[in-house]
Structure 1
Amino acid sequence: MDLASDSRIVMTLDAGGTNLRFSALRGGKPVSETVSLPSNGDDLERCLANIVDGFNRVKALCPQPPSAISFAFPGPADYPNGIIGDLGNLPGFRGGVALGPMLEEKFGIPVFMNNDGDLFVYGEAIGGLLPHVNGLLEKAGSPKRYKNLFGVTLGTGFGGGIVRNGEILLGDNSVAGEVWLLRNKFHPTMNAEEGACIRAVRRVYSELTGTAFDQVPEPKDLFEIANGNLVGNQAAAREAFRRLGESAGDAVGSALTLIDGLAVIGGG
């Protein structure tokens, strides 16, 4: 698949607990302005109304009719059937909501949903790292081509996904590639996410300095402290990021042992 030359327009949504952000893409590039609406996550009817309204607004901005809707939505979910489960940050979605079928009926085009980790890796597989590496191999005259890609996202949480032979590996319950549930290297009774996310960096700094957790700066400021650009405990800040890297690396290494492919890392 040559993503850059694909002339079809796809409408997208970034669904968060506070805001819903809508846009449209063609060939991997934006063709509309971003439309932002409140999530109203505790009120299902208002949330669904804003999802429909947001896509209608973006559709009106598209230079040609969109061919599909594709977006990331939090789980748990039955992604192949477009059914959303009980969400922590959008509590209005309880008991199973057929969001995909509803949007297909409203707009008359296919609707594809998955979690953000899977879609990040899929994007890198069809228009990012994987074709880039394979292109370098081709230029070098090598017959080798990579077909498997594992990826993680670092941020509020520790997400992940797997693409095998051009397809997202979903698993039987749409939860394959959930790297955050792997073992935590430093705290074996905890999951990997607690060693490889925003909370982890702040917690280590708290432990090393005796600072109350709620008084610990955000990771961006800890980064500046580590580089000597802000006042603080530079050694503790550096150690906090070092441990995050070791925790994330341990989880990625374990996953790659099973997948036997390339790895890509992005911000979450």
Structure 2
Amino acid sequence: MQKAILGLDIGGTTIKGGVLINGHLEDIRTIPTPAKESQEFILETIAIFIESYLHHDLEGIGIGIPGLVDVEKGIVLGLANIPAFQHVELGKFLTERIGKPIFINNDANCFALGVHKFGVGKKYKNLVGITLGTGVGGGIVINGHLYSGVNSAAGEWCSAPYLDHNFEHYCSGKFFHNYYQTKPKAMAKKAMAGDPEAIQAFEEFGHHLGELIKHILYALAPEAIVLGGSIRKTFPLFQKSLYRSLESFGYPTVLEHLKILLSELDETAIHGAVALVDVEPEIVNS
């Protein structure tokens, strides 16, 4: 039986799993997250879901969490969308229950590590991953290694002050909801059909995202920034305004070396979770 790595993405709506076997993701499944239930019920749900994968010869299990994590102790410090999941010793619980090595980190950190190990970021030692969706997440890879910071909080540019709010207010789906009362996907359809307001909305979005990237460049000067999340698919609509915003960055030689890339991984969350496990598999996209 081939060795395998299980990746789990625990979100407020769904829990998704998949197994990396011989470089390919297989056995991808999704179950609803019992977000309103007790901590004990949620833990049991996660354990039973993992146990359903134990017919694979698992080397380890990686788990991505949309919140802060004490990585060394495997403690989930809090999840905004799962009220009962506060200061949960998830690592200890699963290690005792499952008997496999458990690795847990913030999901945006997982994304950055995943695109570095398995995706378009493979050839870059220093990169930043930015997930653009309902919110904004960030992860940092330095010299080929994930930098999580204290409680996996490195890369939390979403909360950094910007204009009258923060970057998440202007660089995520919240921008389209707050200022145009719609979702990015619906606005993108209008923009591609030539709607002037929708085109303007994406130009504004690109400007704000460019300001966020400048913020990152001044701090880290990475070789590459990889965009993930659902909004990355609308990149052609905001690409020009993003690069126009970058023109005012103070160090042109840094910009000359910067690559802005789009993640090509279909199961980014699972790839990212798998990447946490301390082995070095090689992935082949299928």
The TM-score bracket by the shorter chain reads 0.7 to 0.9
Question: 2:20 & 2:98 partners in 1: Cα distance?
Answer: 17
**Residues 144-200 of structure 1: CA distance to partner in whole angstroms, max 9, x if unpaired?**
xx421111010000101100122111113321111212332xxx2311000011110
Q: CA deviation at 1:29?
A: 2.2
Flag the structure with larger Rg.
Answer: 1
Aligned to 2:183: 218
**1:172 aligned onto 2:172:** no
Q: Is the 8 A contact 1:183 1:251 kept in 2?
A: no
Identity of paired residues, percent? 32
Higher strand fraction: Structure 1 or Structure 2? 2
**1:29 aligned onto 2:24:** yes
Alignment partner of 2:100 out of 100, 109, 114: 109
TM superposition score normalised by structure 2:
0.74
Q: CA deviation at 1:28?
A: 4.7
Aligned to 2:210: 249
**1:202 aligned onto 2:172:** no
Describe the SS at the equivalent of 1:88: coil
The more displaced of 34-43 and 15-24 is 34-43
Describe the SS at the equivalent of 2:128: strand
Unaligned runs of 5+ in 2: 231-286
Question: 1:114 & 1:69 partners in 2: Cα distance?
Answer: 12
**1:52 aligned onto 2:14:** no
Q: Is the 8 A contact 1:256 1:263 kept in 2?
A: no
Question: 1:201 & 1:150 partners in 2: Cα distance?
Answer: 24
Q: Number of paired residues?
A: 228
**Residues 67-107 of structure 1: CA distance to partner in whole angstroms, max 9, x if unpaired?**
0010101212212211012322111113x110011111112
Unaligned runs of 5+ in 1: 1-6, 135-145, 206-215
TM superposition score normalised by structure 1:
0.79
Aligned to 1:157: 135
**Residues 187-217 of structure 1: CA distance to partner in whole angstroms, max 9, x if unpaired?**
x231100001111023232xxxxxxxxxx33
1:227 alignment partner AA: M
TM alignment of 1:126-165, pairs within 5 A? 126-131=117-122, 134=123, 146-165=124-143
Question: 1:243 & 1:154 partners in 2: Cα distance?
Answer: 15
**1:71 aligned onto 2:36:** no
Give the CA RMSD over aligned residues.
Answer: 1.8
**1:39 aligned onto 2:34:** yes
